[in-house]
Amino acid sequence: MRHHGLRSYAVILGLLACSADLAFATATAEEAARLGQDLTPIGAEKAASKDGSIPAWSGQADTPMAGWAWGKQRSEFTKLKDEKPVVSIDAGNMDKYAEHLTPGLQALLKQRKAFHMDVYPAHRDCVVPKSVEERTKANATEAKLAANGWGIAHAKSGGVPFPIPKNGVEAMWNMKLRPSGVGFIYKKGGSAVAPRPGSKDFVFYDWILTQFWPMGQKDSKNIEDTSGVEFYTYYKYFSPAALAGQALVSISYLDNKYPDNYYYFPGQRRVRRLPTYVFDAPLIGFENEYPVEMQNMLWTTLDQFDYKIVGKKEIYVSHDSFKSYNFNAKKDDYYKDTTINPDYVRWELHRTWVIDAVIKPGNRHSLPHQTFYIDEDSWNVLLVDAYDSKGGIWQTRMANQIPVWELGGTCTIGPFVMYDLATGRYTADYQVATQGVDMQFFTEPSDPTFKGGFYTPDNLREISER
């Protein structure tokens, strides 16, 4: 059905065909002692790459230039703002850099003439608070997966659970529970679905969004102490008109396949439970371009796929990409017909974990094979390639990572883009650019939405009908 010729790596498929990755042993005390020595406190290699193009981990938090405070443009206060690209990659020269390009990026460069990648000097400026370092070291020898093989039974809250992962599921849990404070708020976030080929008609969305991670609270001891809750979500649409007033609260769990989703429909003045609003179900109002689980790069439980660590790879990822958070950007400059304006994205060479995911026997999924590229310094997933049932590239999605100054230099992601290589369209979500206000990260539950009682169907109805 999909006509794109790029195929999955044959070696990956061969490994997956041989056996599932089922070793669930914790790290030994000797392995855990490497944390803070040749490994960073959350498990990355401290050393530079062999050719020096990826520097050694600095261990120093990135800080803004004097005068920055939340609400001011991040891109104007980064110390890197005057750096110049070392190379610009496009379809004409991509073969020279193919070893550092994922199959999805290669397909995108070939398909869309407007897409190019400006590559800058690499910086390894992701750090975590001392409390996260301590809890991560404890987790190395005591965190445990659940008996079902995909859930998590125990870990210290706020730390990376498996800094020396033994299998793909552990690596994916590191991504899901990566340190990011206690939550974030978009007071006015944005999304866009690009035009169909031959058209100029975008669909733009404006909304408010809150995500609250109870285990990110400083007094939280173990992840299992949060009643099994992984995170809470609330959002409400302002536009387009067809969605205005619609709102949702969601409670996602550590080991329950199905979140509690409650959706308010203003035309009915009712809250309805959406029990099947999960996995690859299409997100309401996004023209079937956007599956639910692709929100925030991955929003799902880990029971549907078999995950395997393929290894590490040096690839180009979006890092220190402060321009992607330019809330004063103009829509017609930022959103181009076939791609986000490449001038707003900064690419650097980094080491990533490569995690391959293939649908488990008996399960169905529109994207049965996906490859995740997870930054070793932060455990953020920065690139995902998704394949159809015949092994052809279907989608590639990419996130923009920055060291967050209000989190003390912890690196996290917000904006991301999903490029559909079959339809020629793209979907951008969690966008700050063009929205007139920055997203805000929190280390303390100081906002009234950072309470479990906020995320109930009764409260959703009350705040939606005011």
**What does DSSP assign to residue 427?**
E
pLDDT digits (tens, 9 = 90+) for 236-294: 999 999 999 999 999 999 988 789 999 999 999 999 999 999 999 999 999 989 999 99
CA atoms within 13 A on the CB side of 379: 27
Please state, as a whole number, how many other Cβ atoms lie within 10 Å of the Cβ of residue 18.
8
DSSP H or E stretch at residue 135? helix 130-142
Q: Could you give the CA distance from residue 295 to residue 178 in angstroms, rounded to a whole number?
A: 16
Instruction: Reduce the secondary structure of the chain to three states and give it as a string.
Output: CCCCCCECCHHHHHHHHHCCCCCCCCCCHHHHCCECCCECCCCCECCCCCCCCCCCCCCCCCCCCCCCCECECHHHCCCCCCCCCCEEECCCCHHHHHHHCCHHHHHHHHHCCCCCEEECCCCCCCCCCHHHHHHHHHHHHHCEECCCCCCEEECECCCCCCCCCCCHHHHHHHHHCCCCCCEEEEEEEEEEECCCCCCCCCEEEEEEEEEECHHHCCCCCEHHHHCCEEEEEEEEEEECCCCCCCEEEEEEECCCCCCEEEEEECCCCEEEECCCCCCCCECCCCCCCCEHHHHHHCCCCCCCEEEEEEEEEEEEEEECCHHHHCCCCCHHHHECCCCECHHHCCEEEEEEEEEEEEECCCCCCCCCEEEEEEECCCCCEEEEEEECCCCEEEEEEEEEEEEEHHHCCEEEEEEEEEEECCCCCEEEEEECCCCCCCCEEECCCCCCCCCHHHCCHHHHHHHHCC
Q: Could you give the CA distance from residue 401 to residue 176 in angstroms, rounded to a whole number?
A: 15
CA atoms within 13 A on the CB side of 373: 26
Q: Assess contact for 186 and 296: CB atoms under 8 A.
A: no
Chain Cα centroid distance, residue 57: 22
Strand partners, 270: 265
Q: Could you give the CA distance from residue 445 to residue 429 in angstroms, rounded to a whole number?
A: 25
Q: Could you give the CA distance from residue 427 to residue 285 in angstroms, rounded to a whole number?
A: 12
Q: What is the residue whose two structure tokens read 């509690």?
A: 260
Query: What pTM was computed for the model?
Result: 0.94
Length of the chain: 466
In the chain, which stretches have pLDDT less than 50?
1-23
pLDDT digits (tens, 9 = 90+) for 368-404: 999 999 999 999 999 999 999 999 999 999 999 999 9
Phi, psi (5° rounding) for residue 435? -90, -10
User: Read out DSSP for 65-120?
Assistant: PTT--BTB-GGGT-TTTT---SEEE-TTTGGGGGGGS-HHHHHHHHH-TT--EEE-
Q: What is the pLDDT of residue 25?
A: 63
Strand partners, 359: 305
CATH number for the domain formed by residue range(s) 10-464: 2.50.20.10
